[in-house]
Chains A and B, each alone.
Chain A
Amino acid sequence: MRHRADLAFRVLALATLVLALVTLVALVMDVLADGAGRLDWQFLTSLASRRAEDAGIYHALAGSIWVIVLTAALALPLGVAAAVYLEEYGTNSRLARFIEINIANLAAVPSIIYGLLGLGLFVRAMGMGRSVMAGAATLALLALPVVILSTREALRTVPKSIREGSYALGATKWQTIWHQVLPMAFPGILTGLILSLSRAIGETAPLITIGALTYVPFAPDGVWSPFTVLPIQIFNWVSRPQAAFKENAAAGILVLMALLLAMNASAVFLRDRFQRQGRS
């Protein structure tokens, strides 16, 4: 009897996981069924349009790439510098401990709150307007906790002997970090950055809140240009009643998922290379 209960429990737990897998498959099949027919070269190279069959994704794809590249440029130096401080300098000081708790809490703040911060701080107080720059700055703050966390993990994998060898040769602390520790940790840092960016690229709510427009029929031509991004364009199409726009939304989702897949694949590739290096 007790062993039958054990078996039943195991079956129940396995069924839960199967249900999760089935949901994922259903989601992918649903989007493919709705959107694959709409996805062609014309869709990728056309701008937004009031007519569903003429509309394309080019402006949103370009907007997403502009925003994500700029987000990376802001989040990488800030995140790595913060992680180096917490891991190499501030260990166990009370200030470092406070900053750590703060980062952990920030990681769990809803993304839409970052949108309100971006609206109040970047768009209005700093006068950036509803630009690519304001969007990227908002997303950089959002991505920062993850970049810091993954960079710290990468720094921790650098063996102590490397640091001690460098000190023994007379290098200062910063010389050791800059010439030995950071280069060794770099692939790990890059992996973390790409993973955090692949989350940022799917973010919709904070960019809607700072006022990225849902109808921008052109690609951005600079960091101060108005913009829209893939998820916002998808949201815009989903919200329209006509069925033809829902097809566009599904095709847009396929483009977004392909972009995510490419980013994650490159992160996995880097991680594998990194692990092989570490072993040899």
Chain B
Amino acid sequence: MRPRRLERLIEAALLGAATVSVLTTAGIIVVLAVETFEFLREVPLVEFLTGTEWTPLFANPRFGVLPLVAGTLLVSAIAMVVALPMGLLSAIYLSEYAPDSVRRVVKPVLEVLAGVPTVVYGYFALLFVTPLLQRVFPQMSGFNALSPGIVMGIMILPLVSSLAEDAMRAVPRGLREGAYALGATRMETALQVVVPAAFSGITAAFILAISRAVGETMIVAIAAGQQPRLTGNPFVPLETMTAYIVQVSLGDTPQGTLEYRTIFAVGMLLFLMTFGLNLVSTWLRERFREEYS
């Protein structure tokens, strides 16, 4: 009788540990929601979401989040221009072309690229890539969206490559062999058969990459500047949502003030954006798995 009770107790304890992850999600939502609610009691939601000026730390504060959102989207878009085509090409190469000897070299290199701390990428963007780009674009400022965007793209490339490669490897061999039998070249098979067949898996990888770019912090905090600005110009300093949270966390803004609550409101918006993207990505991956199981 006693051992059986012990078994039950242990199972309950293990279940408790497993629910920590659910509690974490709940904790994130509660912490962000409470502070955001306090923030929205003083700043109307419409002003927050549609205002075009973000100057919460000034004497005459304005709380329009659009400049931060625009900064985030601009840097993310530049990162995607780099990461998506390069990631897809590298995935096609690794899945359809590469002999084992090449894979043995390339895979660890991609793993190392993915494992470099983001603060190191920030250093690289500010002190190596920006000076390099300034030779091509002399009008470019020392802080800008282009350099951190490109570096972020390189950082995200391994994620896109490995997820897209997984999706393509899951495509049944028979489809490829059918294409070869009809006389298609490797490229035709890859682009017209394998990529379309793995489409939802590849899209899931792309969406996860966007989510990573939107939430990336240190590269932009170091290399993009701290000037909220509603612009599409990649050469001037701007500020992203994440960089703003870092800026306030480093400063001496007293806790409990409206200025301080802004980081939770911005955090809430960031969480909702990335969480939405993650859900779509998970859903697409599940659908893809069903197609070929």
Measured CB to CB, the residues of A under 8 A from B are 2-3, 5-6, 9-10, 12-14, 16-17, 19-21, 23-24, 26-27, 30-31, 34, 77-79, 81-82, 84-86, 89-90, 95-96, 98-99, 101-106, 108-117, 119-121, 124, 141, 144-145, 148, 172-174, 198-199, 201-205, 208-209, 211, 214, 231, 234-235, 238-239, 246, 249-250, 253, 256-257, 260, 264
Contact = CB atoms under 8 A, between A and B. Distances in A.
A89 B275 contact: no
A13 B92 contact: yes
A202 B13 contact: no
A271 B42 CA distance: 55
B218 interface: yes
Given A31-B123, A98-B22, A116 B31 contact: yes
Nearest to B17: A81
Contacts of B25: 102, 105-106
B185 interface: yes
Contacts of A19: 86
Contact of A13 (B15, B90, B216): B90
Interface residues of B, number: 83
A209 B245 contact: yes
Contact of B187 (A6, A113, A250, A253): A6
B271 interface: yes
A146 to B, nearest CB: 12
A89 B15 contact: yes
A231 B221 CA distance: 13
14 contacts: A6-B188, A9-B187, A16-B90, A23-B154, A27-B116, A31-B120, A34-B127, A82-B20, A172-B3, A202-B117, A204-B118, A205-B221, A253-B123, A256-B117
A119 B7 CA distance: 37
Contact of A105 (B35, B157, B263, B278): B278
Given A85-B14, A113-B271, A204-B119, A108 B20 contact: no
B18 A235 contact: no
A268 B17 CA distance: 28
A20 B86 contact: yes
Interface stretch (B47-55, B104-112, B195-203): B104-112
A209 B115 contact: no
Contacts of B221: 205, 235
B109 A204 contact: no
B126 A108 contact: no
A145 B21 CA distance: 8
A173 to B, nearest CB: 6
A181 to B, nearest CB: 13
Given A78-B20, A99-B21, A204-B117, A121 B208 contact: no
Contacts of A2: 185, 188
Q: Is the interface of B mostly helix, strand, loop or mixed?
A: helix
A253 B123 CA distance: 9
B57 interface: no
A20 B211 contact: no
B246 A112 contact: yes
Contacts of B89: 12-13, 16
B39 to A, nearest CB: 13
B22 A235 contact: no
A111 B119 CA distance: 13
B19 interface: yes
Contacts of A98: 22
A23 B113 contact: yes
Interface in B147-189: 154, 157-158, 185-188
B219 to A, nearest CB: 10
Given A117-B24, A253-B120, 13 more contacts: A9-B187, A23-B154, A31-B123, A78-B20, A81-B18, A82-B18, A85-B15, A90-B15, A113-B32, A174-B10, A205-B217, A235-B218, A238-B122
Contact of B127 (A10, A30, A148): A30
B75 interface: no
Nearest to A145: B21
Interface in B109-140: 109-110, 112-113, 115-124, 126-128
B21 A113 contact: no
B206 interface: no
A253 B110 CA distance: 20
Contacts of B117: 201-204, 231, 256, 260
A78 B218 contact: no
A6 B7 CA distance: 61
B249 interface: yes
A204 B217 contact: yes
Contacts of A79: 17
B69 interface: no
B30 to A, nearest CB: 8
Contacts of A231: 117, 119, 218
A129 B126 CA distance: 33
A13 B93 contact: yes
A257 B115 CA distance: 10
A47 to B, nearest CB: 20
A20 B110 contact: yes
A5 B191 CA distance: 12
Nearest to A199: B115
B250 interface: yes
